[in-house]
Amino acid sequence: MFTSVAAVAAVFPVAWAASAFNFAPPSTSPTAASANYTGSSNGTLSNSPVVSGRAFDRFIQIWLENTDFNAAASTGAFMELAKQGITLDQYYALTHPSEPNYIATVGGDFFGLFGDEFIHIPSNVSTVVDLLEAKNISWASYQENMPTVGYFGYNYTSVDYLDAGADNYTFYVRKHNPTMIYDSVANVSSRVARHRNFNDFAADVNASALPQWMFVTPNIVNDAHDTTIDFAAQWLQFWLMPLLNDTRFNDNRTLILLTFDESETYTVNNRIFTLLLGGAVPSSLKGTTDSTYYTHYSALSTVQANWGLSSLGRGDTNKTMSNVYSLVANVTGYQNENVTGAAIPLTNLTGTIPGPLNVNAWFPFTAPNTSAVGAGNGTVFVAPGVNMNLTIASAPQPINLTQRGQSLPQVLPLNATSLPSSVVSNTSTSGASTMRVASTGVLAVAGAVFLLF
């Protein structure tokens, strides 16, 4: 997979074989449990009291897959939904392929990652979960075909409900479940328990127990990954449209982000069709277009502005890359940057961005930038055990581990289906394990710190 950048670029843009799939609903309604999902409902979520935000009290992100802007913009269901919300027509993904985009929207960086493999991000690298929990804001990740609450596996294969005669099908993939990829979440049992499937989602809606921040990942056919935009459009009609009328999901303080992880085409910049929906969109703005430049970091900066949260001191505080959705910026007084034309960064680059998850241009994980000021005006959140001496500015020159015959320290074998027992048993919230970095000597780092798992 890491043989060369060219090989990666050649492999990933190829669409999955145009499927013979026809959409079929996985359940009788979005609020009914289904035997098509392996896990039965595991009770309902228990949440702390609602914390009021400046522009909304609930943020629901729904991520679809691999679609160019125009393909979504010209599809009926998206056109219909656009009338009920704000079209963000200058919204960009950050890189290719999927996984780096997902990890970036919760952690503020993709750390140079350019593949979809089974990785762990060290336990003292923080995410939006740390920022939300610091203010007692409830959250969850709803993953459609995940088999059990807090499942650790790389993927899950279950009965193909689209075709009774077919072999079992891989509907759940961990690469689309971003919070689970961070050990700061996956090592903490109370956080693991907030990763739930759609049977649990149905139970939570019925109990009016949805949390305030939600990441929603439809399964790999419903999100268009293995199928087409028309298939995903039918899923939206089945799942999202009725829920928009259900006040247990969408009330007048709910903001819904419907977006894509990345564009399908790699050779043009990474613009993705994105809608803001929900009762928090004022009627006067319904059916309008907002052409402010946004990226996946905007989903972090917007919730920070809304709830006055701390920041992560990473891409979420890069002024160019993290404009706050205008309807929220207008309420909180945040000044967006005017990024247009040639000033729009090229974010269709893959494999060439150095970082702790790029085997060909590697440097260690670095501390957050504590002098950054995020959209929430709060301090920069720093987990215990971070070596503050190793910053992006003091990081060593990237080295090519591939040329040295070495692999990434954090990448576990692709066939790993569960965390090593040493990790599973560590459910402490202290984040006491050290960041897998050293402040001096790259070779010493390579020798001493690579194999902490």
Ligand X SMILES: *[C@@H]1O[C@H](CO)[C@@H](O)[C@H](O)[C@H]1NC(C)=O
Asked if residues 34 and 27 have their Cβ atoms less than 8 Å apart, the reply is yes
Residue 32: count of CB within 10 angstroms of its CB: 13
Comparison of 284 and 403: residue with beta carbon closer to ligand X: 284
Terminal CA-CA length for the chain = 22
**Residue 295: φ, ψ to 5°:** -135, 180
Q: Smallest distance from the beta carbon of 371 to ligand X, in angstroms?
A: 11
Give 188's contacts (C-beta < 8 A, 6+ positions apart).
427, 428, 429
Nearest-angstrom CA–CA distance, 226 and 233: 14
Comparison of 73 and 416: residue with beta carbon closer to ligand X: 416
Residue whose token pair is 């974010």: 347
Q: Which of 329, 376, 302, 355 is nearest to 61 (CA)?
A: 302
DSSP 8-state assignment for residue 176 = G
Q: Smallest distance from the beta carbon of 128 to ligand X, in angstroms?
A: 16
Q: Smallest distance from the beta carbon of 435 to ligand X, in angstroms?
A: 10
Residue 226 known to be catalytic: yes
- Helix, coil or strand: residue 179: helix
* Strand ranges inside 164-208, DSSP E: 169-173, 195-196
**Residue 440: φ, ψ to 5°:** -135, 150
Comparison of 416 and 446: residue with beta carbon closer to ligand X: 416
Q: Smallest distance from the beta carbon of 60 to ligand X, in angstroms?
A: 17
Q: Smallest distance from the beta carbon of 154 to ligand X, in angstroms?
A: 4
Comparison of 279 and 409: residue with beta carbon closer to ligand X: 279
For residues 30, 210, 97 and 339, what is the CA-based torsion angle, rounded to 10 degrees? 120
For 197, what's the count of Cα atoms within 13 Å in the CB-facing half-sphere? Answer: 29
Rg (CA), the chain: 21
Comparison of 126 and 326: residue with beta carbon closer to ligand X: 326
Give 146's contacts (C-beta < 8 A, 6+ positions apart).
39, 156, 172, 177, 195, 196, 197
Q: Select which of 183, 226, 261, 290 is catalytic.
A: 226
Nearest-angstrom CA–CA distance, 151 and 176: 13
Q: Smallest distance from the beta carbon of 276 to ligand X, in angstroms?
A: 9
Comparison of 254 and 405: residue with beta carbon closer to ligand X: 254
Which amino acid, residue 93?
Answer: A
Asked if residues 159 and 168 have their Cβ atoms less than 8 Å apart, the reply is yes
Comparison of 242 and 441: residue with beta carbon closer to ligand X: 242
**Residue 298: φ, ψ to 5°:** -65, -25
Comparison of 245 and 397: residue with beta carbon closer to ligand X: 245
Alpha helix positions (H), 26-113: 69-73, 76-82, 98-107
Interface positions with ligand X (CB under 6 A):
24-28, 34-36, 38-40, 42, 148-150, 154-155, 158-159, 161, 168, 170, 173, 193, 241-242, 245, 251-252, 266-269, 285, 290, 305, 308, 318, 320-321, 326-327, 330, 332-333, 338, 340, 345-346, 348-349, 376-377, 387, 389, 414-415, 417, 439
Which amino acid, residue 444?
Answer: A
DSSP 8-state assignment for residue 375 = T
- Positions annotated as catalytic residues are 226
